[in-house]
Amino acid sequence: MAAGGNLKLLGTRHSMFTQRVVWALKLKGIEYEFIEEDLVNKSSLLIALNPVHKKVPILVHGGKPIIDSKIILEYIDETWKERPLFPQHSPERAYVRFWAAFIDDKLMEASKKAFASTGDDQVKAIELTVEALQLLEEELRGKKFFGGDQEIGFLDIVAGWIAYWLQFIEEIGGFKVMDSTRFPCLDLWTKNFLQVPSIEQNLPPPDELRNVFSAIRMAMCPK
Ligand SMILES: N[C@@H](CCC(=O)N[C@@H](CS)C(=O)NCC(=O)O)C(=O)O
């Protein structure tokens, strides 16, 4: 394990954003202290470190907070050079940043709407989710991982919630978008991604996710 140098991570185990950072630190073998936050009753430390958004994950390195999972991944990759997560060359770096933004801004937003709605609104959100997944499926065609054939990289980590969290989002939200016939490349990628030891050993328990998503769905779509 490489010494992180006074490195703390504020997050929650069930958060797909927090888990991106955990995966990156584990892949690089960097030591850190994990501080589990209660998002219903946020700590004064969380609010002091991220007064703008009051969200996790927050990485604290040498006393300085770094905020937002994708920015934290870039920071980690720039600070600890072992086991690079980003491609070496600028065009490929631009490419992975573009698709990472697409995953968060289009796919995640659409699937969040599908999760948090009912009726016609949900049907429309499901269509948008499928459209976004189709675009991602095409990007993955012919590759084992988004990061290439050998190893997972930044884009795989950003997409990681699709491999694990999406099934619970579907289950609790009462819809189904992912299947191996419709998205064979994403399905194979999911299997390969979840077999990577740093990923497989760092996933929240299914029942924990079910409980969290049930509470959110209940609050958003009361029956
Ligand atoms: N864009 C942010 C999103 C972070 C985020 O939404 N975190 C959630 C946990 S999954 C949170 O802290 N929510 C608390 C709140 O919204 O009050 C990132 O990538 O880090």
Together in a domain, 123 and 166: yes
- CA 172, distance to chain mean position in Å, is 18
Q: What is the pLDDT of residue 82?
A: 93
Together in a domain, 12 and 108: no
* DSSP track, 128-141: HHHHHHHHHHHHHT
For 87, the token pair is 């491609």
Boundary residue ending a domain (51, 79, 107): 79
**Does residue 34 sit within a domain?**
yes
* Of 20, 53, 111, best ligand 1 pocket probe by most atoms within 8 Å of the beta carbon: 53
Together in a domain, 127 and 47: no
Together in a domain, 61 and 100: no
**Does residue 98 sit within a domain?**
yes
**Does residue 85 sit within a domain?**
no
Boundary residue ending a domain (46, 79, 112): 79
Q: What is the pLDDT of residue 164?
A: 98
**Does residue 202 sit within a domain?**
yes
Ligand 1 within 6 A of CB of 27? no
Together in a domain, 97 and 194: yes
**Does residue 106 sit within a domain?**
yes
Buried b (16+ CB within 10 A) or exposed e, 154-179: bbbbbbbbbbbbbebbbebbebebbe
Ligand 1 within 6 A of CB of 54? yes
The CATH number of residue 31's host domain is 3.40.30.10
Together in a domain, 133 and 200: yes
**Does residue 30 sit within a domain?**
yes
Together in a domain, 62 and 102: no
What's the rounded mean pLDDT across residues 106-135? 97
Together in a domain, 67 and 120: no
pLDDT 10s digits, 1-34: 666 669 999 999 999 999 999 999 999 999 999 9
Nearest atom of ligand 1 to the alpha carbon of 72: 20
CB 32 within 8 A of CB 49: no
Together in a domain, 109 and 170: yes
Ligand 1 within 6 A of CB of 69? yes
pLDDT 10s digits, 145-187: 998 888 999 999 999 999 999 999 999 999 999 999 999 999 9
**Does residue 2 sit within a domain?**
no
**Ligand 1 centroid to residue 70 C-alpha, Å:** 12
Nearest atom of ligand 1 to the alpha carbon of 54: 17
**Does residue 84 sit within a domain?**
no
Together in a domain, 95 and 191: yes
Question: Which domain covers residue 40, as residue numbers?
Answer: 7-79
**Ligand 1 centroid to residue 201 C-alpha, Å:** 22
Together in a domain, 95 and 193: yes
Q: What is the pLDDT of residue 223?
A: 67
Nearest atom of ligand 1 to the alpha carbon of 55: 12
- Is pLDDT of 197 > 90? yes
pLDDT 10s digits, 132-149: 999 999 999 999 999 888
